[in-house]
Amino acid sequence: MKKMYWISLAYVVFGLVAGLLNHEVAYWTNFTGESAMSVVHPHAILLGGLVFLLLPLFMKSFAVEKQKSFQVFLWVYNIGLIITLGFMTARGISQLLVMPFPNFLDHMVGGLAGIGHIILTVGLGFLFHALIKSADERSDK
């Protein structure tokens, strides 16, 4: 359970640093447009910080961590979130510094961030499977 709090803290700190970086770089470069960096902050805090902050509630209520699919969820979800945040951050920084990617690279970065989102969704599927299985086992008792 403590591991979930540490993971949550890591994503919240990353989200706060991303928000600060977005604000400061935009301020110092007089950037006034929209950048992908502005959505890295809420993605990290909500999809990382909040999800892993709430997981101990399910662990306490349903003992969901005993399910094999929960362990798969931890790996798949974290990998997907790291990929998503990494490529969104890369695109956001290039936009803030007004150093646009070449067209093919821009599409590649967007596609890889999208693949990260898909991996996140698969991870959520494993979480729901673990939750449903835990709830079923609990109701059988």
Amino acid symbol at 105 = L
pLDDT at 137 over 90: no
104-122 pLDDT tens trace:
898 999 999 999 999 999 9
Q: How far from 135 is each of 67, 91, 94, 132, 139, CA to CA, in Å?
A: 11, 41, 45, 5, 6
**How many whole angstroms separate alpha carbon 30 and alpha carbon 100?**
16
pTM: 0.91
pLDDT bucket at 37, cuts 50 / 70 / 90: very high
Average pLDDT over residues 38-47: 96
**Range in 32-36, 51-55, 72-76 the model is least confident about:** 32-36
Q: Which of 73, 83, 15, 87 is nearest to 48 (CA)?
A: 15
Query: Residue 35, SS3?
Result: coil
**How many whole angstroms separate alpha carbon 15 and alpha carbon 38?**
10
Whose structure tokens read 């999208």?
A: 114
67-88 pLDDT tens trace:
999 999 999 999 999 999 999 9
Helices (H), 29-102: 37-42, 51-62, 68-96
